Structure 1
Amino acid sequence: MATKPFYNQPCARIFAGLLAAVTMASWASVNAQVNQVDTKSQTAAPPKFIKAQDAGQFKIQGTGKPFQPSGLASSEKPYDKTRAIIRSDDRIPMISRKYPWSAIGRIVGESTDGSPYTCTGTLIAENIVLTNSHCVIDPQTHQLSKKVTFLPNVINRELQDDNDVALAEKVLYGTDFTNDKITNQTNDWALIQLNKPIGRKYGYLGWKSLPSSTLIKNQKKFIFVGYSGDFPNPKKSGYDFLSAGPGWTASFQEGCSILRDEQNILLHDCDTTSGSSGGPIIGVINGQPYIVALNNAEFKRRDGSAVVNLAVKIDVLDRLSREN
């Protein structure tokens, strides 16, 4: 994470070259991992892509309030009491099938050249998943993905029900990465309309667009969940039961912070890496889980070490839900 001198720099110095070095964390090969998931059994035409200015073609049924199905138990922690792994790493495996963790899943996409990639997404309505634009559009080529699949609550490469794997029918995206870097960053959000209303079974999270001052004031109060490409390591002591390897079980981090707001971009210290793009930064408000920001990128030093992570504000969801 970033050092104190970095955060003490004036805004102009922080952003001088920062966005040029931003790493969009999902567009990397996942090698053979993706091939071991039976997503090819479902065939479908490429999803219909809709620009933000044409949002009227995309209906959002969600109201911003969380939904827990009546038959689905809830848990404040992402693990069963009988199997918790808490080490020096800030992240622990999300191995709970209970709500709200049930509403978070792994996105497996296929780019135009056929190469696979992964991201994280969260149900915010019975058939709507929130993620990043760069999880459905290649920022370098500006090409739209040929196929986008959502695997809800996958743990150690296992699903509750293989029939719940859902395909994207429509995608509403905030940017195609042809604008300036600030505009691309602040609009790096996307909504995926699924071909199945699996949120009725898995539930969905609410969202709250809070002022940056409120987010920053609540230090070490937020939760981050993402299917990170470096986590979990089954060779680590106590993780041997997660034999599917990195990226196939989500990581959970409690106590991370929104550090500041720079040019409408949120800087945060949650632990992230490839695959965690689109992961929700969650605040528990009046006992209910709400997405308060959307992880999307990291700023690295020249040696490759992370300095700070970036997140997208979610006030766009308020606007879109009002328009619907």
Structure 2
Amino acid sequence: MKKMIAQTLSVASLLFMTLTQASYAADFTNYNVIDKDTRVRVENTTVKPYQAITFLTMAWDNDGAACTGSVIGPNKVLTAAHCVYDPKKGGLAKSTTLEPGLNAKYQPYSKFISTHVRVPQQYIEKQQSDYDIAIIDVQPSAGASIGKVVKPFELETANDFTGKDFEVAGYPSDKFKVFPGPTMWKDIGVVDRQEGNKAYYTADASHGQSGAPLFDKTTHKLFGVHTSYVKGKNTESNRGTTLTDEIYNWVKQNL
């Protein structure tokens, strides 16, 4: 069984927002993949479904962060709540920059901006991991909405995704210092178990991939977002928030 050890995201300065290779390298600590790292780079980010996966950079008054998101509507992007809400940084992110399909220095679909995000109240009040999901309201760029420039993900809902074959793709931070800009990487896996709104799996992912879509390998329907690494007494795994009836209804109400 593949397991991953993740370390804490270090403090980022607003210089992070310049999107230079140097700032990427400075803003994130390394992580280790136990056993073989099976992630593969997505070379063509302009084909479905990868075009709908977007690199995110969030800014607070004195801090910043990077994550991954997925376009799910004309002007809506799905990500993890902890990407856009952090009480230690002042609460909700002040602004978010979105670059769908970003491939190192190549920006195929321009850049979008957001100054408004939606986070479940359960996460805002107690940072409950069952509600680690968020929606970003995206402003049009050059008169075009983000969901018209790329094809949004379709959504899939269920209360138990155990046994589901899936793919996870996003922008891992350990690759920032290897390439001249953020690059997209993917891995495949199977949901090992479901607990509440959370799915557990051993597909490889790292910092920067928080908020990355979990989607069906065949239909490409999105059923969750990657959120974190967890270690139990005898097990290690990654996990994500899935579109159970409760979460799916919250998402639909906020589209």
TM-score normalised over the length of structure 2: 0.78
User: What's the counterpart of residue 226 of structure 2?
Assistant: 295
Correspondence 1:36 to 2:36: no
Kindly state the Cα deviation for residue 89 of structure 1 after the two structures are TM-superposed.
3.1
Kindly state the Cα deviation for residue 139 of structure 1 after the two structures are TM-superposed.
4.7
- Aligned counterpart in structure 2 of residue 262 of structure 1, from 188, 195, 213: 195
Letter in 2 for 1:229: S
Higher strand share: 2
2 CA distance for matches of 1:28 and 1:227? 18
User: What's the counterpart of residue 216 of structure 2?
Assistant: 283
Paired residues for 1:165-204 under 5 Å:
165-175=111-121, 177=123, 179-180=125-126, 184-196=128-140, 197-204=145-152
SS in 2 for 1:206: coil
SS in 1 for 2:192: strand
SS in 2 for 1:89: coil
Letter in 1 for 2:215: I
Distance 1:323 1:292, change over 3 A: closer
Could you tell me which runs of 5 or more consecutive residues in structure 2 were left unpaired when the two chains were aligned: 21-35
| CA RMSD, Structure 1 to Structure 2 (Å) | 3.1
Letter in 2 for 1:216: T
Letter in 2 for 1:231: K
State whether residues 122 and 131 of structure 2, in contact with CA within 8 Å, keep that contact through their aligned partners in structure 1.
no
Distance 1:216 1:27, change over 3 A: farther
User: What's the counterpart of residue 16 of structure 1?
Assistant: none
Kindly state the Cα deviation for residue 34 of structure 1 after the two structures are TM-superposed.
3.8
State whether residues 228 and 276 of structure 1, in contact with CA within 8 Å, keep that contact through their aligned partners in structure 2.
yes
Kindly state the Cα deviation for residue 223 of structure 1 after the two structures are TM-superposed.
0.4
Kindly state the Cα deviation for residue 294 of structure 1 after the two structures are TM-superposed.
1.2
Correspondence 1:251 to 2:185: yes
TM-score normalised over the length of structure 1: 0.63
User: What's the counterpart of residue 121 of structure 1?
Assistant: 69
Letter in 2 for 1:313: T
Correspondence 1:92 to 2:36: no
Deviations 1:256-314 (A, max 9, x none): 12111234422121211111100011104xx5311112111112489xxx921121122
SS in 2 for 1:120: strand
1 CA distance for matches of 2:10 and 2:58? 10
State whether residues 26 and 275 of structure 1, in contact with CA within 8 Å, keep that contact through their aligned partners in structure 2.
no
State whether residues 16 and 64 of structure 2, in contact with CA within 8 Å, keep that contact through their aligned partners in structure 1.
no
State whether residues 95 and 115 of structure 2, in contact with CA within 8 Å, keep that contact through their aligned partners in structure 1.
no
1 CA distance for matches of 2:171 and 2:74? 21
Question: Alignment length, in residue pairs?
Answer: 231
Distance 1:310 1:169, change over 3 A: same
Deviations 1:74-133 (A, max 9, x none): xxxxxxxxxxxxxx63111112111211000111011232x2210000000121000011
2 CA distance for matches of 1:110 and 1:148? 6
